[in-house]
Structure formats: structure tokens, C-alpha cells
Structure 1
Amino acid sequence: MNRYNLNRKKFIQGMGAVLTLSALQSSGLVSAGELNGLRVGLIGAGWYGKSDLFRLIQVSDVNVVAVCDVDERHLKEAGQLISGRQASGKVPHLYEDYRKMLADHRFDIVIIGTPDHWHARQAVDAMKAGAHLYLQKPVSVDVLEGEAILATARRLNRKVQVGTQRRSTPHLIDAKENIIDKGLLGKIAHVDMCCYYHMRKNGNPPIEPVPDFLNYELWTGPAPLRPYDGLPHGSWWRTFMEYGNGITGDMCVHMFDAVRWLLNLGWPKRISATGGIYVQKDGKSNIADTQTAIFEYDELECVWQHRTWGTPADPEYPWAFVIHGEKGTLKGSTMKYEFVPQGKGERIVKDVVYEKEEFPEDLKEPRIELNAAPATRRHMQNLIAAIEGDHLPVADIEEGHISTASCILANIAMELKRPVSYDPKMRICINDPEATQRLRRPYRSPWEHPFIK
């Protein structure tokens, strides 16, 4: 048995569950066969939800009890794939509505891999149902959603690992320990971050009937109900602000979180941004194709830039960060890092770790991000250790919230055409009532926003 496995009885007692172990068994919510290994649920059984779950299965003897997805095809496929992956060989219980899944079972860990507009509501509900979380980034689509998740996690003592797995990436851990922490950069006063991927869909598909296998009403949930113009899967949903926060909310959150971790940064003092739809004006996409954001700290600026058109500034680092110090420069991405000293000195390069030999099944998994798999496995191990040891995981919800909210605030600053400063204690934008109003999006009825003053 994997060393990260928990004793089920101690775990349930330790988390202060209302129901005793015997009561859970007699209620039918826990069977004798389900007492071995962590009880896991998955909400969102598309590409990355399954990928995260499979990484967990690789490092712990878990029991995947139930899976939820509003797409019947995704759901059935996930059930069969999980049956072939988990040791028991069982097909998990399959659900269309995550609320029914949480009501029917008790979980140790719930993985949330749904589109961004669902993260906060499902995270809060899963924690209230007794689960710890592996929550994909960004944690929220508005700032106060993130505050609600953080408050719930602290109140209920739930461990929440956010899918900002750069904090568990082997070569970036090496960069932190052997470049930054050893002072090779000297005084650091500027950071560049970027994404130049052409990932904005920008299409014009026609309105069509909703297919029988998709519950589009439930897929939309608290977001505005757009006319159905084809399956939202395959990142079509990411091209709309109704469901997320554009490229900044999707890609900057990773690099900014990595930089904050590497340099031990908290909330920015001030955030400003410019941008919009400058080039790709055809199509339905309403996210910015061009944006520059500045996250200000004392004697340090972290600058983000994305373009979904043209060529990258550095073809070797199309999605990356560059930390500038007086003694040298550190470039980092999901694929490698490179330290270039000022003047004479040794250039240091470390490449991504793949672990293909240790986990050969990675090579057979469709659409797997091989470069990210080792980091996700370490992220899962760290979450289990945090639950077992009652300490915060490496990508704790507070860190994920700061990184997510900062990117959301950059969008607010871009829309308002002025800088904003957020006060996390007062939960307001300082001296800016209009920006403060934008910290919370309206929810479509009957869904209720999880933030409570």
C-alpha cells in the first residue's frame, strides 16, 4: 500500500465527521469494500479532470467511488477508463448532478475539473459535504468567490490543493533551491511573464439544438445562458468571459503563481492593465487577444503580456517567466529553466522531468501533458500528506486565491482603464466603489453566490 494512504477510521474521526464509521456503513453510504484507500470523487470528467484523477491513481491506492459530468458520453467513457485504472476494477457510480453525488456518498477527496464558472460553487459544496479538494485553477471567476472558498476551507479545516502545479515541478523546484534561494540573481527588481499561444478560438458556429447527451442548462449553471452553438468542450468555453477570465485568468495565473512562490510574494500593492480585442475582431470570442498587466510590489514589477496572434518574443519560451536580477537572469517554463549570469559565469540549464520509464502508461494516455504529469503526481502526493499531517499543501487555497484574484483584478483594471488596489481584509478595492462592485458577478437564478459577508 502506498505510504500516503490513510487509515480510514482515523481519517474519518480526525476530520470530525458527524456520522460515525458504523453509521456510515449502516446508512449504505460506505460499504465494507470502500473502507480501503481514500474515497475519491470527480466532478468534471472531461480531459483534464480525468488526467488529474489518473495521476492520483498512480501514486495512491484510492477508491474512485463516484464521477459526475453533465455530458453523458464523457461520463460513460470516464467510468470505463477508471474501471481499467483503479485496483478494484470497479466502475464508479455515475452522476449528472454533482449535488446528488455529494448527497449520496462521503468523500475524502473530491477533484474538481469543471469549467471555471463552476469552481467556487462546487468547491464550497464539496467541502461542506466533508471532502478535501484538488481544485483546478483558476479557483474562481470573481474575487469574492475566492474569498468564499478560502473562508470555508479555514472554517472547516479542509485541505485544498490548487492545480497550480508549477510549485511541484521538479526543474522549477531545482531553480528555486539552487538559483534563487542561493542568491545567484542578486537584487531582483523586474519580472516578465508571457503567453503567445494562439489559443483564442474566434469562431462563428451557428445556433443549433442541444444534443440529448448534454444537459446544457446544468452545464451553464450560475453563468449567463448563452444560445447553444455547439459543444462547449475543447476549450470553446474559454473564449467567452461569461465562463472565465480570458487568457490572463487561464495562463497568467500559472506563471504569476510560480513567480510569487519563487520570490515569496503576497498580494500586489497595485494592479494596472491595458488591452482588448485589437487584431482578431471576427468571430464570437469576447476575451482580449492582447493584454499587458503590471503587478506592483515594493521595488519590483511583475509584467504580464499575452497575444493570441503573431510570433512569440522568444520562440523557446512562448509561455514563461523571466526573472531579472542584478547578477543574472532566470528564464523558466514548463519545459526547462535557464540561468544566464551577468558577465562571466556558468550558464545553468535544467530540463523537464518526464518519468516515462516509471510510469509507462503515460505514453498511452490520449492528450496527456507529459511534461506536467510528474508535477501533478507530486501535487497529489503533497495533498495527501497535508491531509494526513494536518498542514497546508504547497498550493494551498490562499495562494491559489491570491494568484487567481490578481488576474481577475487585472481584467477589472483593463475594463476601467485605471489601476486598482485590493484590500483582502476589507474585501474592497481601495477608494474605488465601481471596481469593488465588480468583485462579485451576478449568479443566474436559482444558483446562489457562495460569498457571505
Structure 2
Amino acid sequence: MTQKKPTSRRQFLGQTAAIASASLVPFGALSSRVSAQSPNERPRFALIGVGGNGTRTAPVGQQFADLVALCDVDAKHLAHGNGLLCDGKADLYGDYREVLAQDDIDIVQISAPDHWHTKILIEAMLAGKDAYCEKPLTLTIDEGKLIRKVQKQTGRVVQVGTQQRSSMNFFNKALAVIADGRLGKLYKITVGIDAGGWSPEISVADVPEGLDWDRWLGPTPVMPFRYLQDPKKDTDRNYTNGHTHFRWWYEHSGGKLTDWGAHHIDIAMLGIAAAGQNNDPVSVGGSSRHDVEFKDGVPMQDNRYNTAREFDLIVDFADRDVQINIRHDVDNGILFEGERGRIFVNRGKLVGKPIEDVATKPLPKDAIAKVYRDMPIMGNDRDAHWANFTHSIKHRTLPISDVHSHMKMLNVCHLAGISCRLDRTIHWDQTTEQITGDELAASMMSRPYREGYEIEM
């Protein structure tokens, strides 16, 4: 294990404070180490969070930058990732702050669990790093406001890992068809994101060797580690409140609504905009089901998955002609219905008569480029998404999945989660970015950070 000399907490805080005080300049005004490099010098990046999604996305990043450091609170993840990704040659860290203190690291990829995203990302931007951060970007609505503020102040480039925005074969082609008027005005969009996770009661268990459970919990409340292996399965299927299954606990995530919702609701809202309609949300409500009892939005049972299992929710917009219906019980994907036709798109197909008609009536040559903000199209899906990120770093521009447009969509996901937890319609003012007429719901726009894990500004 290669380790660099630790930077003291005092030194690190001094560095971030200096960067913060010097960074109140308009977006795009800052120069960067990456943009100043010669064409033959590749940027260096660190992977923070070396679990499943981290090891899936980092190899794509390695096409564009050199992966030189890994950080995780689980020693087993570090050892596995080092062998898999770096031939055992990476610098290894258990504390992400030591990564941010290294001035020879240009980029960080943040693939830690959802509840860590905001804290690490903000401190990375203040430390002068550009960042690729997995979705969902935040755990709460107010975290998104802070991220957007810091991004504008620092001018750092942040690409959110909603790689469907860089899908040329399916999602961008669907948006191009909509933008070309082939569906006419949209009136209904059905978003299928499947049911949420289920678990039996999960008992308290010993923390696995090598896992720093307190640091894994980080900003979220203290709770015991829980683990139960499914006795009906020969494989290592398990139920836990830790790795992978954190997304089924409101303490750490938003369930299916922020997991798959962050992908498909994103495309649905881009579709409304592509049709020339107003996609400012005004309310979210409907029906849902949890496997545990709730009181005032708080789960009353602590030993089972507690995010919404089922949901049938309606999102209304400032353009009252169109609605999004978020469901668990339809095909995974997005069904766009308009005055002139309908199309269905997911990661495996794009179908519908307006798509068939493209064969005889082709889209304009620049149709897909326009919905991709006229940025270079360099590949498809994950490859194109990382390429777009590095292009944006070089030119100091907003990437295709910037934090500002991402948070407008993600706020809908968060509002949906609050609606499910309180079992009522939530009303939203897009201008002030506030929940209106519901004091309890409005209080759920933020959460306190555990002492010792506050964001270091």
C-alpha cells in the first residue's frame, strides 16, 4: 500500500479557507491546472468511493485521465479496487480530505454513498478540484442550493453521473424527435422506475473487518450496522443498511425515487423543455406504500428497509397541459404522449410510430446536436459523458449534466419522497425554491449533519 505523507487537519482547513476566500469570481473566470496543461499531459484523478458503481465508471474515466489515487472507508474495497483498476500502484486513503489536500490531483470522481455526495463535492470544489459526482447529487433540497452556490463561486466543473444525458442512440434521439415537433404538444409522460427494495427484519451484526462504520455513516445519525444473509439463496445476496442497500433507507438516500428517478425523471423534464413547454414543477402528490409505519414523515421501525415500495404520483407543472406520472408498476422507461403521437424510450429501445417515421422523414442533421447543447458528441453513454466532462474542463464551460439543471429535476424527486413520507400533496414555488403551505414538509428540505461531520467551508 503506497501512502503519501498525511496533511494535518489544520493545514487542510487553512488551504480550503484560502481557496474559498479567493474564489468569489464569475463562472469561467478561473484558470485551471488542467486547462493549462499541454495536449500531451493527461490530468490526474482520484476515485472516492471504490464500491460497485465506482469500479464501473472509473475505467471509463481512465480513457481520459490517469487514475492515481483511491479512497474508501472499507479496506477491502481499497485492496480490490487497487488491483482491478491500478495494478496495485495507486495511492490509498481512508479519509477523502487527504485526497483533496493533494495539489497534484486535478479531478475527483465521487462514488461514495448518496449521503456523502454533498459534503465531499463542496469541499472538493473549495479545494480547487473539478468533479464527476454520481447521482443523486444530494440527500436534500437545501443541499442542492448550497452546491449550486459554491459551484458559481469557485467556477469548478462538475459533471453529474446521469449518463443518459449522453445517450445518442436512445435518449437524445428521443429528445430530438420531440424537439422537432413530431409529437406536438406533450400532455402526459409516464415514468416507470420499478418498485423499491424489500427486506425482512434485519438484525444487528458485527461490523465487517476493515470497514470504518462510523466514517461510513458520516453526516447521518448513528445507527448499528445491520446484516442478514438470505437463507434461501446460495449466492451472497444480503440485506443490510450498509454497502449497496443503503439506497433503501431514508437516512442515506431517497429510495427508488432518487435512484432511478434521477435518471428517468430527468429525461422526462428535458422532454417537456424540448417540446417548448414550461417544466417548472408546482406540485407532487398521489399514492404510495411503505413497509414500515410513519409518523410525521419519520419511519417508526429501524430494522427494515423504509423507502417507498410502491407509488403512483402525479407531478404538475406551470404548463398545466402536461403531467408526469411516476409509477412502480409499468415498464422501466419513459412513455411520452403528445397530440401527434407517442414514443417509449429506455436503455434498451426507442419505439413508436414517430420513430418509425424517421426512416422516411429524417430528422435534421443537427437535431441531436442541438439537444446536446451543440457540444461535441464524442461517443455514447458513459464514454461520451466522461468525454463531455473533460471537454468542459478544458474549455471551462458547463457540462451536459451540470448541477443547476440536475437540481431542478432532482428537487422533483425529493418532493416526491416527501409526498410519500407524509402521504399528501406537496406544493412548490419554483421562483423561491420553497415548499409552500406546509410547515412540516418545508422542514424536510434540509437535515442536520452529525457533529464532527459538518461541511467544512
SS in structure 1 opposite 2:426?
coil
Q: Deviations over 1:86-108 (max 9, x none)?
A: xxxx7121001101221234432
- Does structure 2 conserve the Cα–Cα contact (< 8 Å) formed by 1:210 and 1:228? yes
Partner of 1:237: 246
Aligned to 1:290: 310
Matches within 5 A, 1:75-224: 75-84=78-87, 91-171=89-169, 172-177=171-176, 179-196=177-194, 200-224=197-221
Residue in 2 aligned with 1:257? 266
Aligned AA (2:205): E
- 1:216-253 deviation per Cα after TM superposition (whole angstroms, max 9, x unaligned): 00000011222111365552212211100111111112
SS of the residue aligned with 1:91? coil
Deviation of the 1:339 alpha carbon: 1.9
Instruction: Give the deviation of 1:283 after TM superposition.
Output: 6.7
Q: Give aligned pairs, total.
A: 382
Q: What does the per-residue CA deviation read over 1:421-452, in whole Å, with 9 as the maximum and x for residues that have no partner?
A: 333553421233322211101211122257x9
CA drift at 1:156: 0.5
Give distance in 1, aligned partners of 2:437 and 2:308: 27
Deviations 1:348-373 (A, max 9, x none): 7xxxxxxxxxxxxxxxxxxxxxxxx9
The answer as to whether partners of 1:36 and 1:63 remain within 8 angstroms in 2 is no
Amino acid corresponding to residue 442 of structure 1 in structure 2:
P
1:94 maps to amino acid: L
Q: Which residue of 2 aligns with 1:402?
A: 408
Closer/same/farther in 2, CA of residues 283 and 212 from structure 1, 3 Å limit = closer
How far the C-alpha of 1:180 sits from its partner, in A, is: 1.1
Classify 1:224/1:322 alpha carbon distance in 2 versus 1 (closer, same or farther; 3 Å).
same
Q: Which residue of 2 aligns with 1:4?
A: none
Distance verdict in 2 for CA 1:121–1:332, change over 3 Å: same
- Counterpart of 1:275 in 2: which secondary structure? strand
Which residue in 2 is equivalent to 1:340? 353
Q: Distance in 2 between matches of 1:282 and 1:63?
A: 42
**Alpha-carbon offset, residue 169 of structure 1:** 0.8
The alignment status of 1:48 with 2:56, answered yes or no, reads no
Equivalent in 398, 401, 425 of residue 392 of structure 1: 398
Q: Deviations over 1:42-69 (max 9, x none)?
A: 11001111211111113x2x12221100
1:1-50 CA deviation, whole Å, 9 max, x = no partner? xxxxxxxxxxxx984469xx9xxxxxxxxxx9xx9311111110011112
Residue among 300, 320, 323 paired with 1:301: 323
How many angstroms apart in 1 are the aligned matches of 2:154 and 2:409? 22
> Does the CA-based 8 Å contact 1:137-1:163 persist in structure 2?
yes
The one-letter amino acid paired with 1:397 is V
Q: Does the aligned pair in 1 maintain the 2:29–2:155 contact within 8 Å?
A: no
The percentage of aligned residue pairs carrying the same residue is: 27
Partner in structure 1 of residue 383 of structure 2: 377
* Structure 2 counterpart of 1:416: 422
Most deviating of 214-223 and 275-284: 275-284
Q: Give the deviation of 1:267 after TM superposition.
A: 3.2
Please name the residue that 1:328 is paired with: 341
Q: Is the 8 A contact 2:50 2:71 kept in 1?
A: yes
